[in-house]
């Protein structure tokens, strides 16, 4: 599987092991994010202008310190949806703000 670059802007309780591209088109990018911790959730999304879209990841049972994950090579994209799809796996869908 292909991977995409990401940046951890703040390291909390959740440690990201990988970000794989599940499927993609010119306007949609579906990602699988693997973590070392069980039962995690995306608790927030945002956008840092020219720094790309970002997500906050936290533990479901004890949400103390979130991990902030950013995708700097995807400026012009935003988080459309996200969710937990397994004990160690998140799914995130990015879409282009301006469709091609």
CB 32 within 8 A of CB 20: yes
Sequence spans of domains, the chain: 7-96
Quick one: average pLDDT of 38-61?
90
Strand, coil or helix: 98:
coil
What is the pLDDT confidence band of residue 50, given thresholds at 50, 70 and 90?
Answer: confident
Beta strand segments in the chain, E: 7-10, 16-24, 28-35, 40-47, 53-59, 67-70, 77-86, 89-96
Q: Tokens for 21?
A: 């591209």
Mean model confidence pLDDT for the chain: 93
Nearest to 72 by CA among 54, 90, 46: 54
Q: Whole-prediction pTM value?
A: 0.91
| Structure token pair of residue 94 | 């990015």
Residue 28 is encoded by which pair of tokens?
């949609």
Q: What angle do CA 91, 25, 70 make, to 5 degrees?
A: 45
């Amino acid at each position: 599987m292909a991977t995409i670059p990401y940046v951890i802007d703040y390291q909390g309780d959740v440690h990201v092991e990988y970000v794989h591209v599940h499927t993609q088109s010119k306007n949609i990018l579906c990602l699988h994010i693997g973590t070392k911790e069980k039962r995690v959730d995306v608790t927030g999304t945002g956008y840092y202008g020219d720094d790309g879209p970002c997500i906050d990841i936290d533990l479901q049972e004890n949400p103390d310190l979130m991990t902030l994950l950013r995708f700097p090579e995807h400026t012009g994209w935003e988080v459309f949806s996200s969710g937990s799809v397994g004990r160690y796996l998140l799914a995130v869908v990015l879409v282009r703000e301006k469709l091609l």
